[in-house]
């Protein structure tokens, strides 16, 4: 059995790694070694429990208030010990976090093949999103197998001179996780969230946490939602407040006087999927939500000026609207008031996956390690 180490530290990474870990566990030639860096401890533990995953090792590198530099230094100090002890045949990293960039470099120094899940996403701006764009580009330079979610992400890699032979289009594992989770029965811990299932008013879901949106952009977002709430008592606005105190300081005071803005603690993964199902539309700066919501038939207005996920924009299910108060209010008004525009966005085809990305990824890793062959690549057209 080939030993495949899977390294992750945040909730989004855990969600997207879960289908691959399950596929590795089902393999007759690959064995997963699950390593947590503990970057998002509480939220990541919820995901692990939901998918029945128990990390084999916990690096415990994160502490409250740690800077990105301190986090990177701790990972680079602790991960090599595990690599030396376990000697994996390959190491999988996912996405664009600090864990991804630093773990990839550590593996390269140890001459261990790096597999990058969700490879090839590019915004074209090294500073936005920050530090994610730099993280994924750094990891890409030392990757032995690029598992690209779409043909567009593959093309990004080829333009950077990556050998096509080490790129495989597998779809996005977030869709695998979403399909399974959406079919499960979920019990909400917050009774106010549970009550949304019987809510007759339309629900607008808001999530925002990006570093580049802190400060005035965050306040503009808050003012827009406050204006919308005041003008639309027939609509409920739901805001799971990110743990980052800077997010809360900027935005929560703006919501204090509005009874139809429901502020709650961060939802666990399964709860959040089911709140997305209840929502009429979604306002977000999250990359994962841009991928998930189209599969649930929900229009997404992205609170950013650019995105590394243009496929959904091209498909028509996602729209970039930036962070100006006036633009946000205007775009939400259109979706709430114009059924034709809403229908066009909510019925667009999701370009990100078909639920088999985990299996395709495991097969591609088996081929990399000379113990299997790849599956046919993901094709959004189904060809």
Give me the domains of the chain, ranges plus CATH numbers.
Answer: 2-172+353-369 (3.40.50.2000), 187-347 (3.40.50.2000)
Reported as a pLDDT band with limits 50, 70 and 90, residue 382 is: low
Contacts of 28 (CB under 8 A, 6+ apart): none
Alpha-carbon span 29 to 371, nearest angstrom: 7
Instruction: State mean pLDDT over 75-90.
Output: 97
- Confidence (pLDDT) at 348: 78
Whether the bond between 129 and the residue before it is cis, its omega within 30 degrees of 0, is yes
State yes or no: pLDDT of 342 exceeds 60: yes
Alpha-carbon span 381 to 383, nearest angstrom: 6
List the catalytic residues: 96, 118, 132, 209, 211, 242
pLDDT tens profile 116-175? 999 999 999 999 889 999 999 999 999 999 999 999 999 999 999 999 999 999 999 999
The full DSSP string for 117-179 is ETTT---S-TTSSTTHHHHHHHHHTT-SEEEESSHHHHHHHHHTT--GGGEEE---HHHHHHH
- Confidence (pLDDT) at 266: 92
Reported as a pLDDT band with limits 50, 70 and 90, residue 288 is: confident
Contacts 24+ apart (CB under 8 A), 219-222: 219/250, 219/251, 219/254, 220/323, 220/324, 220/325, 220/328, 221/251, 221/283, 221/303, 221/323, 221/325, 221/328, 222/250, 222/251, 222/254, 222/255
The pair of structure tokens assigned to 383 is 């060809």
Alpha-carbon span 46 to 10, nearest angstrom: 11
pLDDT tens profile 215-273? 899 999 999 999 999 999 999 999 999 888 888 999 999 999 999 999 999 999 999 99
What value does the mean pLDDT of the chain take? Answer: 94
Contacts of 128 (CB under 8 A, 6+ apart): 212, 304, 305, 306
- Confidence (pLDDT) at 383: 46
Instruction: Note the helical H segments in 285-353.
Output: 287-292, 310-315, 325-337, 339-346
């Amino acid at each position: 059995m080939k030993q495949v180490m899977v390294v992750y530290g945040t909730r989004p990474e855990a969600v997207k790694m879960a289908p691959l870990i399950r596929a590795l566990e089902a393999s007759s030639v690959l064995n997963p070694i699950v390593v947590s860096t503990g970057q998002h401890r509480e939220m990541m533990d919820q995901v692990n429990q939901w998918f029945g995953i128990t990390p084999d090792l916990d690096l415990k590198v994160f502490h409250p208030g740690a800077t990105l530099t301190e986090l990177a230094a701790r990972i680079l100090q602790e991960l090599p010990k595990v690599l030396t002890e376990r000697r994996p045949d390959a190491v999988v990293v996912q996405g664009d976090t600090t864990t991804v960039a630093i773990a990839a470099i550590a593996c390269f120094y140890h001459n261990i093949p790096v597999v990058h899940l969700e490879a090839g996403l590019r915004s074209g701006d090294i500073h936005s999103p920050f530090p994610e764009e730099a993280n994924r580009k750094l990891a890409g330079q030392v990757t032995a197998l690029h598992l690209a979610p779409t043909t567009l992400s593959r093309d990004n890699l080829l333009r950077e001179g990556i050998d096509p032979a080490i790129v495989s289009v597998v779809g996005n594992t977030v869709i695998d996780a979403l399909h399974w989770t959406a079919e499960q029965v979920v019990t909400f811990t917050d009774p106010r969230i549970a009550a949304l299932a019987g809510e007759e008013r339309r629900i607008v879901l808001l999530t925002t946490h990006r570093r580049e949106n802190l400060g005035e952009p965050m306040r503009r977002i808050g003012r827009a939602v406050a204006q919308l709430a005041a003008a639309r008592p027939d609509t409920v606005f739901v805001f799971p407040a990110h743990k980052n105190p800077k997010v809360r300081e900027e935005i929560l005071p703006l919501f204090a006087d509005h009874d139809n803005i429901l502020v709650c603690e961060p939802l666990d993964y399964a709860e959040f999927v089911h709140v997305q199902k209840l929502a009429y539309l979604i306002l977000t700066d999250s990359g994962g939500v841009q991928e998930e919501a189209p599969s649930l038939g929900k229009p997404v207005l992205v609170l950013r000026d650019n995105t590394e996920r243009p496929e959904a924009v091209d498909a028509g299910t996602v729209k970039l609207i930036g962070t100006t108060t006036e633009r946000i209010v205007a775009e939400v008004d259109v979706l709430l008031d114009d059924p034709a525009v809403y229908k066009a966005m909510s019925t667009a085809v999701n370009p990100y996956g078909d639920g088999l990305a985990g299996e395709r990824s495991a097969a591609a890793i088996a081929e990399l390690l000379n113990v299997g062959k790849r599956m046919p690549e993901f094709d959004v057209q189904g060809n």
